């Protein structure tokens, strides 16, 4: 990516703040976190469990893509 494009991308992106309560990011324009601002502690725990489950699913999917990429790369090296 060109440096000018990167700088303009950063300028266009809204600034975000990390929530102290749920550790997720939200826009600095908002007064409170839109993820957890209206949740009590039990609801926050459910939110964080779901978020962590989503993260672990993403990690698993990423590992699958790495294995598939290695297998395809190995096949290409074997064929060529």
Residues in touch with Zn ion (CB under 5 A): 19, 21-22, 33, 35-36
Nearer to Zn ion, 43 or 60 (CB): 43
Q: List the beta bridge partners of residue 41.
A: none
For 21, half-sphere exposure in the C-beta direction (CA atoms, 13 angstrom radius) is 16
* CB-based contacts of 3, cutoff 8 Å, min separation 6: none
Of 22 and 51, which CB lies nearer to Zn ion in the complex structure?
22
Closest separation in Å from C-beta 45 to Zn ion: 13
Q: Please, which residue, 4 or 14, has the CB nearer to Zn ion?
A: 14
């Amino acid at each position: 990516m060109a440096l000018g494009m990167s700088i303009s991308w950063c300028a266009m992106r809204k600034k975000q703040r990390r929530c102290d309560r749920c550790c997720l990011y939200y826009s600095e324009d908002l007064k409170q976190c839109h993820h957890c601002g209206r949740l009590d502690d039990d609801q926050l725990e459910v939110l964080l469990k779901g978020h962590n489950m989503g993260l672990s699913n993403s990690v698993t999917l990423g590992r699958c893509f790495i294995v598939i990429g290695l297998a395809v790369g190995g096949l290409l090296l074997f064929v060529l």
